[in-house]
């Protein structure tokens, strides 16, 4: 009997350690740098008495500046970032789920609440895994839990919980931080209304703007008529009682003038009407001021429609479906390098790039040039100013060179009367029009597209539901990919809020989206969407595609799905 009991304990311990390893692997994967990307070391502010608790919780750094150390059940030592409380309890402190284990919330009000038989008896927002039937914690018993792994009643905590040898000063700082994590009033939330904004930059495509706003406004209208998670007639539990049943209100924040003025405009908008989150949105060449504003103000910015997102591993509040032209650059770099490595007897190819100055293609060209430079491949770029002809940019390119086009449909169409100067041409699918690119037949024979989406046949079932919804509601499909992404963003928000019940915390919103995204079946243009802690981009890869068939109309994969 003792041997069987010991065996069960060993199995449970192994499973617990496996869950912990998965968390750490996710964090490691989030920090990996893709081909051609170089990250400067993030600047870490010095630890002071004011931020010591946050440094311990989020970064695993003690008040002395030394690494936090912990001992996990089974003798596993954790140090520094691997030991940070945030890995399991998340940035919000509201916990997470690891396998079959719920990691409980540890903010102050979830620790000090009085004993209750069920969540129905508590006047705090419902969180899965919250502990109810136990004595409230005090500062002394919180310290004991952290150091010795014993709960408020002296019982052993889950073996997922490490034990930390914190001195009294660091312990006081950490407990103080847990108290500050509680935000009793949720910004942009009232008893009856959830306020959301969508942001549009002045250089955004007007056709896409119309398509996006049509979808947003109709979705909000539908949501307010048929609220998801509406309170049922018979309230069987507190969880059901507080399911999301608030009206959604959309605020359209239209920016004007140069990017240097956008921060102040956004600040005024937010002061006039606080919002819980920014949903969708549409950018032109520069989204960085909006990204930075949302990070500074701790406002979730969910899946904006942008071609050049902000690529960073350090921020938290902005999440995107894709890296846009930056992903295309990585796909193209990998293909050019792969094809170049197969030509051992030849010199490395000369690569030419053509883009419009100030357009999103300029950022894509910069990223591709940086990726290839490290491999000794020469890249020459030709930037077209307003009024410059595309024909002029093609002079001097030979048949054996590689030509990369970062051009919009009008410039692509202008190539029609010109013969392709190279036998190897690549093009940005995102800028060039994807399936509807006006590329002429002669160019289609030698051109391949970077394609950061699933192929048309592969995504058909996943987008049909959205397209059917547009048709029933008589929404013109003027920008199908942007409209499908906007519809997907709305659906993800609605589904996430239904799981959050009544816990309207901005950090928790981001964390719940991360948790539930990979279980989403209808993912629109993308074959799969996932977000681990530390990740900002839900779709990780794409295809290189070519034009097939006698008429060169059908797009087919030129190789498999790539995650650069």
Q: What is the DSSP string of 42-71?
A: PP-PPP-TTTHHHIIIII-B-TTSSBPEEE
Complete DSSP assignment for 292-331: HHHHHHT--EE--B-SS----SS--SEEBS--THHHHHHH
Report the DSSP beta bridge partners of residue 199. Answer: 253
Q: Which stretches of 482-523 are assigned E, i.e. beta strand? A: none
To 10 degrees, what angle do helices 360-373 and 325-341 make? 30
The Cα 186–Cα 158 span in angstroms is: 31
**Bridge-based pairing state of the strands 96-98 and 101-103:** antiparallel
pLDDT of residue 245: 74
Distance of CA 352 to the CA centre of its chain: 32
DSSP letter for 135, please.
P
For the chain, the average pLDDT equals 87
- Provide the token pair at 400: 């054996």
Task: Give 326's contacts (C-beta < 8 A, 6+ positions apart).
Answer: 308, 309, 311, 363, 364, 367
pLDDT of residue 42: 45
First to last CA, the chain: 52
The Cα 13–Cα 27 span in angstroms is: 21
- Provide the token pair at 342: 């197969």
Task: Give 550's contacts (C-beta < 8 A, 6+ positions apart).
Answer: none
**From first to last of its 564 residues, what are the pLDDT tens digits of the chain?**
444 444 344 434 434 443 443 344 333 333 333 333 333 334 556 888 778 999 999 999 999 999 999 987 767 788 999 999 999 999 999 998 766 778 899 999 999 999 887 777 788 888 888 888 889 999 999 999 999 999 999 999 988 899 998 999 999 999 999 999 887 678 999 989 999 999 999 999 999 999 999 999 999 999 998 655 444 443 334 444 444 478 999 999 999 999 999 999 999 999 999 999 999 999 999 999 999 999 999 999 999 999 999 998 789 999 999 999 999 999 999 999 999 775 544 567 899 999 999 999 999 999 999 999 989 998 999 999 999 999 999 999 999 999 999 999 999 999 998 999 999 999 999 999 999 999 999 999 999 999 999 999 999 999 999 999 999 999 999 999 999 999 999 999 999 999 888 899 999 999 999 998 988 899 999 999 999 888 999 999 999 999 998 888 899 999 999 999
- Provide the token pair at 272: 């006039």
The Cα 407–Cα 356 span in angstroms is: 7
pLDDT of residue 74: 67
Angle, alpha carbons 530-534-538 (nearest 5°): 25
pLDDT of residue 232: 40
**Bridge-based pairing state of the strands 351-356 and 379-384:** parallel
Q: Are 428 and 325 in contact (CB under 8 A)?
A: yes
**Strand order across the 247-254 sheet:** 247-254, 193-200, 277-279, 301-302, 318-319
pLDDT of residue 13: 42
The Cα 94–Cα 98 span in angstroms is: 13
pLDDT of residue 25: 38
| Percentage of residues in the chain having pLDDT higher than 90 | 71
Which domains are seen in the chain, by residue range?
Answer: 2-33+44-180 (no CATH), 193-324+457-533 (3.40.50.2300), 326-451+544-557 (3.40.50.2300)
- Provide the token pair at 32: 């990996």
The Cα 345–Cα 139 span in angstroms is: 71
């Amino acid at each position: 009997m003792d041997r069987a009991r010991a065996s069960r304990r060993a199995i449970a311990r192994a499973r617990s350690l496996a869950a912990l390893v998965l968390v750490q692997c996710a964090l490691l994967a989030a920090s990996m740098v893709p081909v051609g990307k170089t990250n400067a070391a993030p600047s870490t502010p010095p630890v002071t008495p004011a931020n010591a608790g946050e440094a311990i919780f989020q970064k695993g750094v003690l008040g002395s500046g030394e690494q936090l150390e912990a001992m996990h059940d089974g003798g596993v030592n954790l140090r520094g970032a691997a030991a940070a409380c945030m890995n399991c309890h998340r940035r919000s402190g509201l916990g997470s789920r690891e396998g079959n284990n719920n990691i409980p919330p540890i903010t102050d009000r979830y620790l000090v609440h009085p004993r209750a038989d069920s969540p129905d008896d508590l006047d705090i927002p419902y969180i899965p895994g919250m502990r109810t039937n136990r004595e409230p914690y005090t500062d002394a018993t919180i310290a004991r839990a952290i150091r010795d792994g014993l709960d408020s009643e002296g019982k052993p905590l889950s073996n997922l919980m490490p034990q930390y040898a914190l001195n009294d000063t660091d312990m006081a700082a950490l407990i103080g931080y847990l108290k500050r994590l509680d935000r009793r009033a949720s910004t942009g939330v009232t008893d009856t209304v959830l306020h959301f904004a969508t942001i549009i930059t002045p250089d955004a495509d007007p056709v896409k703007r119309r398509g996006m706003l049509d979808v947003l406004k109709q979705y909000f209208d539908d949501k307010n008529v048929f609220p998801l998670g509406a309170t049922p007639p018979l309230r069987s539990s507190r969880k059901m009682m507080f399911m999301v049943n608030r009206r959604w209100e959309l605020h359209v924040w239209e920016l004007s003038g140069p990017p240097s003025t956008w921060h102040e405009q956004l600040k005024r908008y937010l002061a006039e009407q606080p919002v819980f989150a920014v949903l969708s949105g549409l950018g032109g060449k520069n989204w960085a001021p909006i990204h930075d504003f949302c990070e500074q103000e701790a406002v979730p910015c969910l899946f904006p429609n942008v071609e050049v997102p902000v690529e960073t591993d350090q921020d938290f509040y902005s999440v995107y479906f894709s890296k846009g032209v930056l992903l295309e650059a990585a796909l193209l770099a990998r293909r050019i390098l792969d094809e170049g490595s197969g030509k051992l007897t030849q010199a490395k190819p000369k690569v030419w790039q053509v883009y419009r100055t100030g357009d999103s293609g300029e950022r894509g060209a910069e990223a591709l040039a940086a990726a290839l430079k490290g491999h000794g491949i020469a890249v020459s770029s030709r930037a077209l100013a307003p009024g410059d002809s595309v024909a002029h940019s093609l002079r001097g390119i030979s048949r054996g060179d590689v030509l990369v086009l970062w051009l919009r449909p009008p410039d692509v169409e202008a190539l029609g009367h010109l013969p392709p100067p190279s036998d190897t041409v690549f093009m940005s699918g995102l800028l060039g029009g994807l399936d509807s690119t006006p590329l002429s037949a002669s160019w289609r024979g030698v051109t391949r597209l970077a394609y950061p989406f699933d192929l048309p046949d592969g995504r058909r079932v996943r987008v049909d539901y959205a397209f059917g919804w547009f048709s029933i509601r008589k929404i013109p499909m003027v920008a199908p990919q942007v409209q499908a992404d906007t519809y997907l963003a709305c659906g993800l928000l609605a589904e996430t809020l239904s799981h959050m019940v009544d816990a309207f915390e901005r950090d928790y919103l981001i964390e719940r989206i991360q948790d539930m995204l990979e279980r989403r079946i209808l993912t629109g243009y993308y074959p799969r969407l996932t977000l681990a802690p530390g990740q900002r981009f839900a779709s990780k890869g794409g295809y290189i595609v070519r034009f097939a068939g006698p008429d060169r109309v059908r797009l087919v994969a030129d190789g498999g799905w790539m995650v650069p």
